[in-house]
Amino acid sequence: MLCLCLGPTSSGKTLLLKKLQNRENIDLTSNTVPTVGTNLVTIKFENQKEITIREIGGAMAPIWRNYYQGVHKIIYVVDASNLCQIAAAGVLLYTILAEPSLQKTKVLLALSKMDTSYRQMRNEALLMLQLSRLKKEIPQEITVVETSAMTGDGTENVLKWLQGRPMTDKIK
């Protein structure tokens, strides 16, 4: 099964994938550099299954569609602490959801960096993305999860979503 990890530059894609890959190795001293091009990450689960996720840098957004062939799941990462970026993130998300080849794709909207944002920012982010309206107009199943690669919050739900297992604390 092919999964993509997309989102604007500096939204937290790389750090989130590193945390999913090695849950103990990310802490407050961890940092990354913006992904230029693509990055393949393999995540292993307890049941010996694994999934490979292709992260595509935010700077490559104009050519993301070249990677959509055969994709079943997309993790779309938005920095919830950066309200200035959310409008642009919404435009990119809409272009993904409008893509004819992705009409049956499951989408996980990961609101990242929740450790550095205050509670109201999540609500503002969802309002700016017009998520409730969007969900009524698109065929894709969108799941929203709050995450923090630094603290690990929400990463268990991302792993469950990748495996197709039920999640706890899912945002409607």
Show me where the domains of the chain are located.
Answer: 2-163
Amino acid 84: pLDDT: 83
Kindly report the number of other CB atoms within 10 A of residue 121's CB atom.
19
- Give the integer Cα–Cα distance in Å for 51 and 44: 7
Dihedral in degrees, nearest 10, Cα atoms 23, 24, 30, 34: -20
pLDDT at site 172: 47
Three-state DSSP at 165 gives: coil
Q: What is the pTM of this model?
A: 0.89
In the three-class reduction of DSSP (H, G, I as helix; E, B as strand; rest coil), residue 147 is classed as coil
Task: Return the residue matching tokens 């099964």.
Answer: 1
Split at pLDDT 50, 70, 90, the class of 24 is low
Residue 141 near residue 167, CB atoms below 8 Å: no
Which pLDDT does position 97 carry in this prediction? 94
Question: Angle at the Cα of 31 (from 2 to 71), degrees rounded to 5?
Answer: 10
Residue 25 has pLDDT above 80, yes or no: no
Tokens at 61, concatenated: 């957004």
- For residue 34, is pLDDT > 70? no
- Using 50, 70 and 90 to split pLDDT, how confident is the model at 7? very high
Express each pLDDT in 54-94 by its tens digit.
999 999 999 999 999 999 999 999 998 888 888 889 999 99
The side-by-side arrangement of strands in the sheet containing 106-112 is 38-44, 50-56, 2-6, 71-79, 106-112, 142-146
Domain 2-163 class, CATH top level: alpha beta
Q: Which residues pair with 171 in a beta bridge?
A: 144
